[in-house]
Amino acid sequence: MKTPVTVLGLGAMGTALARALLAAGHPTTVWNRTPGRSPELDTLGATRAATAAEAIAASARTTATAGAGGGLVVVCLLVDDTVRSTLDGLDLTGHTIVNLTNSTPEQSRATAERLASAGASYLDGGIMAVPPMIGTPGAFIFYSGPQEVFEEHRTALEVLARPAYVGTDPGLAALYDIALLSGMYGLFGGAQHALALITSAHIPAADFTQQFLVPWLTAMLTSIPNMARQLDNGPVDTADSNLAMQAAAYENLVTTAQKQGVDPSLLTPMGELLRRAVATGHGESGLSALVGLLRAAG
Ligand code: FVH
């Protein structure tokens, strides 16, 4: 028999997780603060619990009947505070809590400590997928926490997405997650600014995006591994596109935004960083030098 799983939180993501577990044949108990959310799960065979406590207890009972390991509880709520208010005071003894709620590394470590005091095993997770991707090959989820707990539940977790275990420190999954989300928002911010410029001149967005924006960004992405190699192995002597040149050209980006009536606020921080790089003697370096400046500022 497949491991019984409890899912707490039936938002867009929790519902997708519960669906994937049900499709893979895991007995699945679900709970959501607002009752009756995602009624399709009932037809798919989910057991609906009236309270979070009942949902967790259900998973333990089914597990005992099945003779498998401790109850597996997947938590996918809005923010860390909601995880705390949902789990605090519940009997979690012997359960494994897998928390896939977005959090900071500090929040994840604090949750791990609280749940250890409550007698639970804890894995923190960071989902790198949107809900329709869950259970498909493109999705992956970072996990951190005790490796033996991850290995014990690996098979059930593989149903959700490719698991990427990143270490015992419970804060690591959140750090990887936030790093990728930060990269994504940088990319989206750049694309949104480009589209604001183009549409400010009444040029159709879709055609521009398909013909130019996506091919350009895709080509630029190929320079990132080189940047990473320079961070790991030290900078190469010369940069094809040095920072002094980029800082000078960057002024035109801000001026053009202003002239087109587009808010330059997504652009200005990068301009400041480029100027700081030149002012502190990195004018001949490549873009990887900016990573050092960001870290020094922290
Ligand atoms: N959806 C996505 O694209 C991203 C993909 C990557 C991972 N994120 C994170 O996943 C967490 C859940 O996201 P979600 O998409 O399921 O979010 P919602 O659809 O807004 O559902 C929120 C659920 O949280 C429940 N909730 C909110 N406040 C409370 C509370 N005080 N106590 C208990 N539960 C609470 C809410 O319940 P209800 O409003 O229906 O009663 C939903 O179940 C999130 O961390 C993303 O960053 C998703």
Q: How far apart are CA 94 and CA 70, in angstroms?
A: 6
- For the chain, the C-alpha Rg in angstroms (whole number) is 24
Per-domain boundaries in the chain: 5-169, 176-297
DSSP-based three-state secondary structure for 285: coil
With 0-12 CB in 10 A as exposed, 13-18 as middle and 19+ as buried, what is 70?
Answer: buried
Write down the pLDDT at residue 237: 60
Measuring from atom 47 of ligand 1, which residue has the nearest CA?
A: 102
Q: Which sign does the torsion angle of CA 159, 161, 165, 170 carry?
A: negative
| CATH assignment of 176-297, among 1.10.3720.10, 3.40.50.1370, 1.50.10.20, 1.10.1040.10 | 1.10.1040.10
Q: How far apart are CA 151 and CA 148, in angstroms?
A: 5
CA of 48 to the centre of ligand 1 (A): 18
Strand runs labelled E in the chain? 5-8, 28-31, 47-48, 72-75, 96-99, 121-128, 140-144, 162-167
- The class level of CATH for 5-169 reads alpha beta
Partnered with residue 74 across adjacent β-strands are 7, 98
Measuring from atom 20 of ligand 1, which residue has the nearest CA?
A: 11
CA of 12 to the centre of ligand 1 (A): 7
Write down the pLDDT at residue 238: 66
What residues contact residue 133 under an 8 Å CB cut-off, 6+ apart?
A: 139, 161
Write down the pLDDT at residue 255: 97
DSSP-based three-state secondary structure for 47: strand
Phi, psi at 111, each rounded to 5°: -65, -45
For each successive 10 residues of the chain (298 residues), what is the average pLDDT?
95 98 97 97 98 92 51 96 97 96 98 96 98 97 98 97 98 98 98 98 98 98 92 77 94 97 97 96 93 88
Contact 80, 109 (CB under 8 A): no
| Residue type at 241 in one-letter notation | S
CA of 171 to the centre of ligand 1 (A): 20
Residue keyed to tokens 């960071």: 126
Measuring from atom 18 of ligand 1, which residue has the nearest CA?
A: 11
Q: How far apart are CA 192 and CA 266, in angstroms?
A: 9
Write down the pLDDT at residue 70: 55
Instruction: Choose one of 7, 48, 77, 103 to mutate for the ligand 1 pocket test, by most ligand atoms within 8 angstroms of C-beta.
Output: 77
CA of 189 to the centre of ligand 1 (A): 23
